[in-house]
Structure 1
Amino acid sequence: MIESHQTHLDSPKIPADQLNSSAEVRFIYTDTLKNLFQKNNHILIAPSQQTPNPETFLNTLKAHPKIYQASMSRQIAADLPANIELKDEPKDWFIKTADFGDDYDRVLQHRDGEYTQLLEDIARYHEIFQQGYDKIILLRPPTYTGYDIQLTAAMQCLGYTKEQFQFIIVQPIKLYAFHKANQKIHPIPDLATEELISAIGMDALRWYSLCTPLTSIAPINISTAGQANDSLHRVQSAHYRCCQLLQQAKQETGTEVRPPLPIAEKLDSLLQVVPKILEQSADEIAPHLLTQHLEAISETCHQWLDSLSLTPPDSTLLLTTKQTIFDLLVNILDITAPEPSN
């Protein structure tokens, strides 16, 4: 029995009419993660929106070894001369985020009684974990100027690992174009969203946005993206060729049975590991692993089909290849898979 994982994907919505840059365009394509998770037995259920009481939550933390009350953070106190005493100074409640990569400890409650946003946030995410979630993933666009390091560190103070609580800022797209005059590829300024989509098409924009780790800048050459023989075209054309040959096989009878070619065996092995690649892509929040495997499948498929000459291919392998490419392209990456007309 396959164990299911209950995952909370926290991703702010950016309406299409409010997209201001290619950076934000790339961020909205992370909706692919939902398809990827659901394909790999991750249950995506929105938790209750009830906001925990920060006072109640802080009271449960006051005896926690990572929480302390002081007039200043331990980092500032350590820099003061030894003869300075602050016994009567008002005190704040701190959390030891510096133990997990933050610059210094952060305040949860100020001395005047005001609670911080950090306390409210960790109270909310702690409550979500208490509802039975195995993992929380926070996705933010590159324009986000928040506090991912301190929030992640605070959750680690509470005992949650980086695998359980992941804060991911999706890096932007970097555009390039071929300059005919000097025959070189150069970076170009950002394009308006409509102009970018018009230049390379929605499929290519989504494909290249997902070809690079979400935490790395995605390079897109608008001179070649979406054109013949680019990586997306090779994947789509592999699907198209499989469809063509399957149609042809339906019309032919008495096809010759032949032993499989070595390249066919390689293709079959690539298809066999697709479930493992899907699982790894979901676990590592890495859709680029899926696009890379699709490229490998399509390249091997083209080599196999090129080697067939006039001999009819193995229809079972053809069908499996066609269905696999279709499923990964359409049902997970939300990219079209062209088919020949009947």
Structure 2
Amino acid sequence: MLREEIAKIVQKSLKNLQEKEVFLKFPFPEIDIGHPKEGTHGDYATNVAFQISRYLKKNPLEIGETIKLAILKIEPNLFEKIEVIKPGFINFFLSPKYLQLRVKEILNEGERFGKVNIGKSEKVNLEFISANPTGPLTLGNGRGGFCGDVLANILEKSGFKVIREYYINDKGGQIRALGHSVMGDELAVYKGDYIEELKKKVKGDNPDEVGQEAARIILEEMIKPTLKKMGIEYDVWTSEKKLYEDKEVEKILSFLKKKKLTFEKEGALWFASSKFGDDKDRVLITADGESVYFLSDIAYLKNKLDRGFNKLIFFWGADHHGYIGRIIAAAEALGFSREKVKIIIMQLVKLFKEGKEVRMSKRAGVYVTLNELIDEVGLDVARFFFLERAPGSHLNFDLDLARERSEKNPVYYIQYAHARICSILRKAENLEFRNKNLELLKHPSELALMKELIILPEIVVDTAKDYQIQRLPQYAKDLAAFFHQFYRDCQVLTDNKELKEARLSLITATQIALKNTLGLMGISAPEKM
């Protein structure tokens, strides 16, 4: 990957300068290579000259100029030029020759373009949605669902072995509450048309049994069909009830007692989670003998660890923020490093229609289901809109914009770029052009498009490391914008045969990058619109 390649070149130049005693010996800093905010400052930049100036006791600009000359001796063809600017930044401008070479590589890689191997087949468990089977999936579930699914795609593209998992909370208070709701007694909690339908299917006077049967129907007839409509497939479904039936909850309780990590207080049994960084100890069994959810959660955690995962990732709703400390404490108590547990909190989703918020509450029976939303705006638009914002920020879903079939809608804008390329390629289907005359690609809009193309592997790596999914839709928008600008500035099917062949290769590479990016997001790449 180019960013790492530049870092290695910089490091090699520093080593050479030390060996030649131009620079004194000093501990090498981590060499950070990034993209300048201003295009006039180059394609990549590093502040290494400023970093090492404290060791060399010299002006960073002077150090930068020395490094610049050393780099050009090592790699004379990669950069068109290198500039050193205050307070000590070294700015790299890629050469057209290098960019043309990368177009050739993209054409050869095809659907493999963007694939990296930082994961090295490490096993990752990614649990997302895991909505209680007490009603249909709603907008909040959609955000975690699409983000979780796309992160799994990214991790797989990065060389990790990913298991997508759904945890079914099919035991306890919420199932009993569902039972009361279906029975229609004074302890009813949930409302809505689906409850009225369940009343016709499930009969009985035991709220636990009624709740269990209603939960089974909700899972099979509401949740799973919606997941299919969302384009999400799980590898593993784990039932909380089965953890009890298989004695896994009983075993974890014995384990914690044996490790002297439990104690009794006020008639209840507690887990000493504060020993592992939690802000307080947690109840496992209440004074009246009722097991709390946390106990089965620890058993579930042990179940995952026993399956040999190197990393556990959870997508949770905003109301679970206070649960993070105890889960990480439980993982540590089980011998799993806290660095290997990542919990991503999804902030709230608000739906806006005609500029006004549509209020939602599952318990009040007022909500918009994911089925309804996907039927209204389409799966591609639903996915993209949910992915656009960072998980930790609130999301306002603009229903009117989502319905737009114009360039105002970013999904339409991106897909139209792909369809336009396909249309041009259909007109040129009898021409042999791949990898021909790429040296002719020198127009500013051609160069800008090539520079954007080669960033995709970086997007994949960065997202696999920090899980900031919103990079993908932003990259797709940027790439489409660079293509549309190129299309306005450069005629592809020109009378100049050599230039036409070069530009056909360039748009084919662009099609590959767009299709691969859309594919990672689970969004279609239409050939006609």
Settle same-fold status: TM greater than 0.5. Answer: yes
Contact 2:417 2:484 survives alignment (8 Å): yes
Which of 116, 123, 148 matches 1:6?
A: 123
1:79-103 alpha-carbon deviations (Å, 9 max, x no partner): xxxxxxxxxxx7844323486353x
Per-residue deviation, 1:278? 1.6
Q: What is the aligned partner in structure 2 of residue 281 from structure 1?
A: 463
Q: 2:156 aligns with which of 15, 19, 38?
A: 38
Instruction: Tell me the equivalent position of 1:295.
Output: 477
Once residues 285 and 132 of structure 2 are traced to their aligned partners in structure 1, the CA distance between those partners, rounded to angstroms, is: 35
Asked if 1:69 corresponds to 2:259, the answer is: no
Shift of 1:64: 6.0
Cα deviation, residue 275, structure 1 = 1.8
Corresponding residue SS for 2:283: strand
Does structure 2 retain, via aligned residues, the 8 Å contact 1:140–1:168?
yes
Counterpart selection for 2:411 from 232, 245, 249 = 232
Structure 2 residue identity aligned to 1:176: F
- Rounded Cα–Cα distance in structure 1 between residues aligned with 2:451 and 2:278: 42
SS in 2 for 1:151: helix
AA partner of residue 522 (structure 2) = D
Deviation at 1:60, TM superposition (A): 4.7
Q: CA deviation at 1:189?
A: 3.7
Query: Per the alignment, do residues 250 and 125 of structure 1 end up closer, same or farther by CA in structure 2, a change over 3 Å counting?
Result: same
Q: Does residue 315 of structure 2 align to residue 139 of structure 1?
A: yes
Structure (1 or 2) with the larger CA radius of gyration: 2
Native 8 Å contact 2:318 2:348 kept in 1: yes
Tell me the amino acid that sits aligned with residue 138 of structure 2: S
1:213 alignment partner in structure 2: 390
Q: Is the 8 A contact 2:387 2:469 kept in 1?
A: yes
Aligned residues: 315
Aligned to 2:344: 168
Equivalent residue number for residue 338 of structure 1: 526
Q: Is 2:454 the counterpart of 1:272? A: yes
- How many Å separate the matches in 2 of 1:132 and 1:154? 17
1:241 paired residue number: 420
CA pair 161-269 structure 1, distance change in 2 beyond 3 A: farther
Q: Which structure is higher in helix share? A: 2
Q: Report the residue type matching 1:187 in the other structure.
A: E
Distance 2:410 2:276 in 1: 44
Render the CA deviation track for 1:46-82: whole Å, top value 9, x for unaligned.
Answer: 67977574565455556869x363647xxxxxxxxxx
> Which shifted more, 227-236 or 304-313?
304-313
Matched letter for residue 485 of structure 2: Q
Rounded Cα–Cα distance in structure 1 between residues aligned with 2:134 and 2:423: 39
Q: 1:340 to 1:256 in 2, by over 3 A?
A: farther
Structure 2 CA distance for partners of 1:108 and 1:271, relative to 1, 3 Å = same
Separation in 2 of the partners of 1:160 and 1:220?
Answer: 38
What secondary structure, in the 3-state scheme, does the structure 2 residue paired with 1:225 have?
helix
**Residues 242, 318 of structure 1: 8 Å contact kept:** yes
Deviation of the 1:150 alpha carbon: 2.6
Partner of 1:263: 445
Whether 1:19 aligns to 2:207 is: no
Q: Is the Cα contact below 8 Å between 1:97 and 1:154 reproduced in 2? A: no
Rate the CA distance shift 1:197–1:252 in 2: closer, same or farther, 3 A: same
Asked if 1 retains the 8 angstrom alpha-carbon contact of 2:441 and 2:503, the reply is no
Per-residue deviation, 1:127? 4.1
Compared CA separation, residues 92 and 282, structure 1 to 2 (3 A): same
Kindly indicate whether the alpha-carbon contact (under 8 Å) linking 1:208 and 1:219 is maintained by their aligned counterparts in 2: no
> 2: distance between equivalents of 1:12 and 1:135?
18
Q: CA deviation at 1:272?
A: 1.6
Q: Distance in 2 between matches of 1:168 and 1:237?
A: 33
For the Cα contact (< 8 Å) 2:128–2:145, is it kept in 1?
no
| Deviates further, 114-123 or 271-280 | 114-123
Q: Which has the higher contact order (CA 8 A, sep 6+)?
A: 1
User: Secondary structure of the residue that 1:25 maps to in structure 2?
Assistant: helix
Contact 1:36 1:282 in 2 (8 A): yes
Shift of 1:18: 5.2
The alignment yields a C-alpha RMSD, in angstroms, of: 3.8
Post-superposition offset of 1:17: 12
CA apart distance, 1:221: 1.8
TM-score (norm 1): 0.74
Asked if 1:317 is matched to 2:511, the reply is no
Aligned residues: percent identity? 24
Determine whether 1:28 maps to 2:145. Answer: yes
Q: Secondary structure at the match of 1:270?
A: helix
Where structure 2 has 5 or more consecutive residues not aligned to the other structure, the ranges are 1-116, 164-234, 361-366, 495-499
Cα distance change of structure 1 residues 56 and 309 upon mapping to structure 2, 3 Å threshold: closer
User: Structure 1's 21 and 142: CA in aligned 2 closer, same or farther, altered over 3 A?
Assistant: farther
Displacement of 1:222 = 1.9
Please report the TM-score for the alignment, with normalisation by the length of structure 2: 0.51
